[in-house]
Structure 1
Amino acid sequence: MTYLEAVALLHDIESKYDVMNVKYKGVSVWSFLRLRLLDCVSVNTEIKISRSIVKTVFKSLFYGSPFLLWGKYDLWSITNAERRKMVGNKMIHRISGAIEHLPYTSLMIEKPSRCIGHAPKRAIEETHIFSESWILLLSQFFMHLSLVKKKDVQGCELMDKILEEYNLKFDYMHYICHLDAQRRSMNFILAISKKPNVVLFECPYDSMGYQWAFYQHGIKVVELQHGVLNRNHDAYNAKDYEPILNPDAICVFGIEEYNYFKEEAPRYAKDVYMTGLYMLEKADQYFEKDIFVEKRKKYSHIVVASGQAGYEEQLSDFINKVATKHTEALFVYIPRHNDVKLKFTCDNIQVVVDVNIYKFLKWADLHITISSTTCLEAHYFHKPTLFYNYENRASTYYKSVLKTKNGVDYIDSVDSFDEAYLRLLNEHFEYKEIFVHNNIENLTNVINNNIMD
């Protein structure tokens, strides 16, 4: 089952059944279960705990002092090491990088990258940083205690009926235990630390148990948009939401997402703010010189392809085929993760890893992706995007936002490439203001006017 088919299945279930009545400790756990169910039935297979992940977690325990928890901070920031990008000699958080420059004291709680753990301390700006590895280990400890029993969960009969009707295999009790373990582990952290006034949280839907604990302690949660966000994203398109497991407010890139939450998903968060994207502003200021000067002596055009987890094979095969014909262009392929195995047969394809993709997007002539949000960032730099519309992902996600007049094309096959390629390289387009500007100032205002009072 494809991702979009799985999303449609969730909507069908929610239209037929009162799924919000599946509760544990009086809290509807469907908001968490629906995401894990989608992982189980779609092509986006859930990442299992492996020996390498366990090794990374243990290796990262003492990245930053655990004793920093005892400090008093205005803000906690919860993010992921994978979202750091190199700017000069520093690894900057593409979303949360602004927090270090806000007029508040802050502690960053960072999940280690599955590849490298954390960036070297000399390469980061943050001075107060705590590895999430401790909380991840606590969660596993509480998971193994099996503290949640089926008799404690309201609505098990309903879940069993749904799974039987749709012929699905899904261990929902395992995931309720997972949610509860997250809650218990964060409650433990809050019990031994000084509580912040607010938590700024990237991708909070993966850690709803943390949000539950913050709610129990009266701490507000503000989500920072980290990627694609629309009516087809499973975390933002539910029929209803459990407030205790969702943020109090969300900060979005710009007007498109703002309108979505105000008009189509008003129950997701009480408050919505437009704050922009920190890394785009940082990159635009810093990357002033064309990085492809030498390459342009050999190639007429520079095409940057943005890979995606779960779709590298499909996109790399597409790039291999079009590059064979268009030898006048250099195709720079940037995979989502640097450990992916790719096979290319053309000399005019270059694979680069561990780079700041925004530097490449700023100086490319054309951008290609399946449905990565890099299309929005390329748009910010006024660079056209050609979507390989695999499984209709791109058209479903973006066609209501990005039209052909805005410098995009949606194609389904290699045969359609030539016409779209020539049009995008030679025409002039109307680029939209998708991202608001002044990210640091906007975030400061959000906290000043709405959080710290």
Structure 2
Amino acid sequence: MNSTFKQTERRYDVETIRYEGEQVWSYLRTYYFWHTVQNMTGEYARQRKQNSLQKAFKALRETFYGFRNWFKRYEYVVFSNTQSRFLHQGIYREKAFEALIDLLGKEKCLYVDLPNPDHLPRNRISTKRIVSKRLIDMIVRLLLVPQRLLGQRIEIPLLDTINRENATSFDYDSFIRAFNVRRKVYRLLFALYRPKAVFVSCYDSDQAILKAASELGIKTVEAQHSAIGAEHFAYNLSKPLDTSYFPDVLLAFGEYDKRALENTPNNPFTRIYPVGRYQLELIAREPLPEELLDLTGRYRLSVSVSTQYTAEKKLALFIRELAREHTDIAFIFSLRHFDRDYYAEFGMGPNVYLFKGEYSCYDVMRVSDIHMTCYSTCAQEALFFGKIAILADIDGLATNFMGGMKSRNIRIIQDVHGFAAAAELPFENETSPLWATNHSQQLEAFIKQEIRK
């Protein structure tokens, strides 16, 4: 799957595709990739069904979230989403930016939050200078109306060819139009604030932010949100692309990701700083939940499971088969995208436990002996807590995303028959470069060199 996408990039001169003089493949490539994934896995998460009127009212209500905070002066702007929050002692904190915002100054940082799926109550989050990204989305939608009514369709033959060969129906015309409008809106926003730096939690979710900041000479920084290594399509470019669509700096998990990217021929990052992860260091100091300890104590082994909506059903069926074969092992899910009723139809078995909201994936991970997933970043996080990670290679996703991870504690299996051998091998204490430690100290060094020099 990843190889198919790379073949497309290598076969065609995608770097030459332009619209109004600007390279477009830099920001189209990840969306083409996910359309390929959809075609191959045949599933995506079932979204909560809402009619158009419900969606419109929800979006309108969300635009007023923290509305007053737009009208202040800020030195830094942070773009993230509610999925980047975790609950700790009754407060929702930020996985990647919590310590950074503290060090830069809470009053100096504007946090632009994408509700995914909903904004959190403001009295239960640690970030006070917070606003909703929905306001930007609504402005963009309004500005796009005349273009859709009066503008001619954008025709790029090479993109049509790529669509046909990958059996996708990606609407690049609408995407390019929306991208250019978003870029102009962000450019106006940054021209008003004139921030010293712009931070993002996932660069490819809205590259218009990066392009707009780059055009104004503003430094852009991404905090790593998922496993990268030598495989991840978003960070391993087959062709040299315009770096103004990518962050200037990456705050990486550890030395492994830094080295992997530095050895990538078309690495778009100018500088990479291994800084570790705030929430992992915080959670590691917390006591283990007694109820989960009691549960796992009734079994020979316990396996925590993290899911992803691109392979949710197939992973569920994979675990169901494992659970039927290994009745002396507990398989414990901490559900994210789906509720328990989704799993009811699978008949998961008495040694499969489903938690939704009662415990975080890290609570479940820390009490278990093994962590299982398809290609979630939780595999890399499990190593932080001293757990082995076994990856089910569903549709080749584990190999394509994490096959290059150089750790003996990450083990990829092709089917359920490979589980026993992978589970028997104990965790190996290795000097792993996968995670940097002393997160706050690493951030202080980054700030000194990049922000306040």
Distance 1:371 1:270, change over 3 A: same
Alignment-derived partner of residue 86 in structure 2: 85
Aligned twin of 2:110: 107
3-state secondary structure, aligned to 2:193: coil
Q: 2:363 pairs with 352, 359, 366, which one?
A: 359
Q: Conserved in 1, the CA contact under 8 Å of 2:44 and 2:310?
A: no
* Unmatched 5+ stretches in structure 2: none
User: Offset at 1:322?
Assistant: 1.8
Q: CA deviation at 1:183?
A: 0.9
| Structure 2 residue 198 is the aligned partner of structure 1 residue 199 | yes
**Aligned partners of 2:379 and 2:101: how far apart in 1?**
27
Establish whether residue 19 from structure 1 lines up as the match of residue 14 from structure 2: yes
Kindly report the root-mean-square deviation, in angstroms, between the aligned alpha carbons of the 2 structures.
2.7
**Cα pair 1:150 1:173 within 8 Å, conserved:** no
Q: How many Å separate the matches in 1 of 2:447 and 2:299?
A: 48
Q: 1 CA distance for matches of 2:446 and 2:136?
A: 28
Change over 3 Å in CA distance of 1:293–1:46 after alignment to 2: closer
Task: Provide the secondary structure at the position in 2 that maps to 1:286.
Answer: coil
Within the alignment, does 1:36 sit opposite 2:40 as a pair?
no
CA distance in 2, matches of 1:53, 1:382: 43
Deviation at 1:316, TM superposition (A): 1.0
The separation in 2 between residues aligned to 1:107 and 1:130, in whole angstroms, is 8
Which residue identity lines up with residue 113 of structure 1 in the other structure?
N
Tell me, in whole angstroms, the C-alpha distance in 2 between the residues paired with 1:359 and 1:177.
43
Distance 1:42 1:127, change over 3 A: same
Equivalent position to 1:63, from 65, 68, 73: 65
Q: Is the 8 A contact 1:221 1:248 kept in 2?
A: yes
Q: What secondary structure does 1:234 align onto?
A: coil
Report the CA distance shift for 1:75/1:212 in structure 2 as closer, same or farther (over 3 A): same
User: In the alignment, is the contact (CA less than 8 A) between 1:236 and 1:265 conserved in 2?
Assistant: no
C-alpha separation between the residues in 1 aligned to 2:56 and 2:178? 17
Aligned with residue 376 of structure 1, among 375, 380, 405: 380
Whole-angstrom distance in 1 between the partners of 2:22 and 2:55: 31
TM-score when normalising by structure 2: 0.88
Equivalent residue, structure 1, for 2:396? 392
Alignment of 1:441-452 (within 5 A): 441-452=441-452
**Superposition pairs for residues 326-337 of structure 1, below 5 Å?**
326-337=326-337
**The one of 413, 419, 422 aligned to 2:421:** 419
CA positional deviation for 1:241: 2.0
Distance 1:288 1:218, change over 3 A: same
On the 8 A contact 2:86/2:95 being kept in 1, the answer is yes
Secondary structure of the residue aligned to 2:293 is coil
> Structure 1 53/34 Cα, relative in aligned 2: closer, same or farther at 3 Å?
farther
Q: Give how far 1:415 is off.
A: 2.8
Secondary structure of 1:102's partner?
A: helix
Answer yes or no: is 1:98 the counterpart of 2:99. yes
State how far apart, in whole Å, the 2-side matches of 1:345 and 1:267 are: 43
Cα gap change, 1:108 to 1:167, in 2 (>3 Å): closer
**C-alpha distance in 2 between matches for 1:121 and 1:31:** 36
Gaps of at least 5 residues in structure 1 are none
CA distance in 2, matches of 1:24, 1:451: 34
> Partners of 1:162 and 1:407 in 2: how far apart?
38
Q: Deviation of residue 93 (structure 1)?
A: 1.7
After superposition, give the CA deviation of every residue in 1:310-344 in whole Å (9 maximum; x if it has no partner): 21111111211222233323221123314472133
Q: Larger deviation: 243-252 or 51-60? A: 51-60
One-letter amino acid matched to 1:400: G
Check 1:150–1:244 CA distance in 2 against 1; reply closer, same or farther (3 A cut).
Answer: farther
Displacement after TM superposition at 1:30 (Å): 0.8
* The 10-residue stretch of structure 1 (282-291 or 79-88) with the greater mean CA deviation from structure 2: 282-291
Give the whole-Å Cα distance in 2 for the aligned partners of 1:420 and 1:412: 11
Asked whether the 8 Å contact 1:332–1:350 carries over to 2, the reply is yes
Q: Which residue does the alignment assign to 2:351?
A: 348
SS at match of 1:293: helix
> What is the TM-score of this pair, normalised by structure 1?
0.88
Q: What one-letter code is carried by the residue in structure 2 that aligns with 1:217?
A: L
Conserved in 2, the CA contact under 8 Å of 1:57 and 1:112? no
Shift in Å, 1:251:
1.1
SS of the residue corresponding to residue 292 of structure 2 reads coil
* Count of residue pairs the alignment pairs up: 437
Residues 221, 249 of structure 1: 8 Å contact kept: yes
Report the equivalent of 1:218.
Answer: 217
Report percent identity of matched pairs.
23
Deviations 1:75-107 (A, max 9, x none): 111101112111121112222222332143211
Distance 2:413 2:158 in 1: 42
What is the SS of the residue equivalent to 1:60? helix
> In structure 1, how many angstroms separate the alpha carbons of the residues matched to 2:129 and 2:231?
36
* Change beyond 3 A, Cα 1:10–1:100: same
Structure 1: distance between partners of 2:367 and 2:15: 48
Contact 1:21 1:28 in 2 (8 A): yes
- What secondary structure is seen at the aligned counterpart in 1 of 2:226? coil
* Cα distance between partner residues in 2 of 1:320 and 1:162: 38
**Structure 1 106/323 Cα, relative in aligned 2: closer, same or farther at 3 Å?**
same
Residue identity opposite 1:233 in structure 2: H
Offset, 1:39: 2.6
